Amino acid sequence: MNSEQIKNSLNISPAIRVGVLGFGGLGQAAAKVVAGKQEMILVAAADQKGYAYATEGLNTEKSVAAYQAQGSVGYLEPIGTLTNQSIQDLIEIAEVDGYFLALPNLPNDFIPNVAKEFIKSGWRGVLVDAIKRTTAVEQLLAMKEELQAAGITYMTGCGATPGLLTAAAALAAQSYAEIHQVEITFGVGIANWEAYRATVREDIGHMPGYTVEAARAMTDAEVEALLDKTNGVLTLTNMEHADDVMLEVAGIVGRDRVTVGGVVDTRNPKKPLSTNVKVTGRTFEGKISTHTFTLGDETSMAANVCGPAFGYLKAGRQLHQRGIYGIFTAAEIMPQFVK
Ligand code: NAD
């Protein structure tokens, strides 16, 4: 029996066939997360230079090794393929129930354009992103009817923030009759910035004097020079983060009451501060109070992004199987725990 058959024999329903688009820091972590699951099997992975696809499942260690040694999963023998249109190729040939888009959103409409490719192709299934910017989520929300007509269930903003923390805010809001403030503060510690180039570039785009376009255009040497000046630390305040639009669309609080900021240390895996969300509101008795949800300091960014992403993929799959298509945010749907 191959690994898919073994997984299928253990479950009443067959394992969900997942693909990961983008095989950098988060994409590789996503593959490792799926490797420990019975309910999901990783059948496809793609990066800028190629893809690997196998119906019986990819070997995570070998896929990561091929990417790290040669720069693409397309080098994975014997199933890898080198191409500069890996996403389009996979859409055409691969049988996948749901994809996690671990892609850079540079420029700011990159992931919305990938979603358009899926719509155009006639592919049906679940798409999940961990996109960060408000304006990017707005572009996707505007595609609701096209996604519905295409038979795609799209789960947006399903990483850590937005994602896990936005969902926690939606849950915390239930104690209150009126929500006054949602304040998200994140701490990220990574050993070296090269492991998460897109994440770091997108964060630089939030700094005063920078834009998404400016950050995208920076060479690696320029990013390093900037990080040298700040001792590897990026301090971010009042970020344009989609937690605001997601909580507004879910009817919980106006976007002007939601703030997001954080500190990213690119030279130390230890978190510079504990990631938390504080939700302040008034109860029906007139009491003002604050709920605080704090993530464990030992949990990495990768754990807090990839876990929820697959939890939402499973939830999206259930919606899809019931014929419910369109677009949903992490603030509207409860993620399902993946066994
Ligand atoms: P990365 O730079 O490490 O990797 C990006 C990957 O995408 C690479 O493998 C690259 O080859 C691939 N890629 C680029 N263009 C491609 C194309 N046209 N076709 C196929 N593959 C392509 O990125 P990362 O640091 O892992 O970040 C991925 C995304 O996750 C970013 O958009 C980031 O903002 C997001 N993120 C979200 C959260 C959250 O909490 N919501 C947290 C961290 C990161």
Is residue 171 a contact partner of residue 338, using CB atoms and an 8 Å limit? no
Tell whether 124 and 189 lie within a shared domain. Answer: no
Tell whether 82 and 210 lie within a shared domain. Answer: no
Q: What is the number of the ligand 1 atom nearest to the C-alpha of 49?
A: 11
Tell whether 129 and 191 lie within a shared domain. Answer: no
Q: What range does the domain containing 272 cover?
A: 164-296
Torsion, CA 268, CA 274, CA 277, CA 279, rounded to 10: -150
Tell whether 208 and 283 lie within a shared domain. Answer: yes
Ligand 1 — pocket residues by CB below 6 A? 21-27, 46-48, 86-87, 102-105, 130, 132, 159-163, 196-199, 202, 301, 305
Q: Does residue 204 form part of some domain?
A: yes
DSSP code string of 173-225 = GGG-SEEEEEEEEEEEE-S-GGGGHHHHHHHHTTSTT--HHHHHH--HHHHHH
Q: Does residue 335 form part of some domain?
A: no
Q: Does residue 73 form part of some domain?
A: yes
Tell whether 12 and 54 lie within a shared domain. Answer: yes
Q: Which two tokens stand for residue 219?
A: 């060479």
* Conformation bin of residue 251: beta by default, left when phi > 0, alpha when psi is -120 to 50: left
Q: Does residue 334 form part of some domain?
A: no
- For the question of residue 314 being annotated catalytic, the response is no
Number of domains in the chain: 2
Q: Does residue 76 form part of some domain?
A: yes
Nearest alpha carbon, ligand 1 atom 37: 130
Tell whether 315 and 263 lie within a shared domain. Answer: no
Tell whether 148 and 245 lie within a shared domain. Answer: no
Per-residue model confidence as pLDDT tens for the chain (339 residues): 565 555 555 556 799 999 999 999 999 999 999 999 999 999 999 999 999 999 999 999 999 999 999 999 999 999 999 999 999 999 999 999 999 999 999 999 999 999 999 999 999 999 999 999 999 999 999 999 999 999 999 999 999 999 999 999 999 999 999 999 999 999 999 999 999 999 999 999 999 999 999 999 999 999 999 999 999 999 999 999 999 999 999 999 999 999 999 999 999 999 999 999 999 999 999 999 999 999 999 999 999 999 999 999 999 999 999 999 999 999 999 999 999
CATH value at residue 134: 3.40.50.720
Catalytic residue among 7, 39, 49, 202: 202
Tell whether 128 and 246 lie within a shared domain. Answer: no
Tell whether 211 and 311 lie within a shared domain. Answer: no
Q: What is the number of the ligand 1 atom nearest to the C-alpha of 110?
A: 18
Tell whether 156 and 169 lie within a shared domain. Answer: no
Q: Does residue 67 form part of some domain?
A: yes
Q: Does residue 337 form part of some domain?
A: no
Tell whether 195 and 291 lie within a shared domain. Answer: yes
Q: How far is CA 53 from CA 123, 189, 202, 330, in A?
A: 16, 32, 29, 28
- For the question of residue 206 being annotated catalytic, the response is yes
CA of 10 to the centre of ligand 1 (A): 33
14 contact partners, CB below 8 Å, separation of at least 6: 4, 7, 8
CA of 213 to the centre of ligand 1 (A): 16
Question: Residue 44 and residue 23: Cα distance in Å, rounded?
Answer: 11
Tell whether 7 and 145 lie within a shared domain. Answer: yes
Q: Does residue 168 form part of some domain?
A: yes
